[in-house]
Amino acid sequence: MSTDSDDANVDGTEDGIVAPEDVESQVFDWGVLKWLCTPEVTGAENLSAGVVRLEPGKGHDLHEHPDSEEILYVVSGTGEQTIAGDTAEIGPGEAVYIPAGVEHGTINTGWNTLELLAVYTPPGPEDVLGDLPECTIVPAGEIPTRE
């Protein structure tokens, strides 16, 4: 990685590389999200991307993103993905496409943490999540914990 300050993005990330400890965490009773690529973090204009970790037996309510498409890539673990009322098992190496405005939800059906890479295009839903009353924001560099 270059350390030349001329290589830094507008927001200060060098060469577009962002480590998990560089960004805040969104903590919910069902898991933790870290948005590693957003307009605020990297200057990205057309997408956002982050890591989602769902705890065993946990998931989030059915919801939709009216103006953003979503891709989920399963890094590890197993789960149940519902899209527009249809439910299927998901596992490592699989990708899920969710069109804009379509109701969906994910539940961890395994013993281990279900880890996903989530991508929104255009960005924006990550900000909505952070504004929810059930979301606790843990500052960058701090380890997120749940009570």
- Flag whether 42 is in a domain: yes
- Flag whether 143 is in a domain: no
Average pLDDT, the chain: 91
- Flag whether 130 is in a domain: yes
Number of structural domains, the chain?
1
- Flag whether 101 is in a domain: yes
| Owner of token pair 């899920």 | 96
- Flag whether 109 is in a domain: yes
Residues 34, 43: Cα–Cα separation, whole Å: 16
Share of the chain above pLDDT 70, in %: 89
Question: Whole domain around residue 111: which residue ranges?
Answer: 18-138
Domain harbouring 99, CATH code:
2.60.120.10
> Is 79's pLDDT higher than 80?
yes
> 3-class DSSP state for residue 126?
helix
pLDDT score for 16: 83
The CA distances from residue 21 to 42, 118, 136, in Å, are 14, 18, 16
Least confident of 12-16, 40-44, 86-90, 122-126: 12-16
User: Which sign, positive or negative, has the C-alpha torsion 98, 50, 40, 44?
Assistant: negative
- Flag whether 39 is in a domain: yes
Residues 47, 124: Cα–Cα separation, whole Å: 8
- Mean pLDDT, residues 135-145 taken together: 93
- Flag whether 3 is in a domain: no
- Mean pLDDT, residues 91-105 taken together: 98
- Flag whether 44 is in a domain: yes
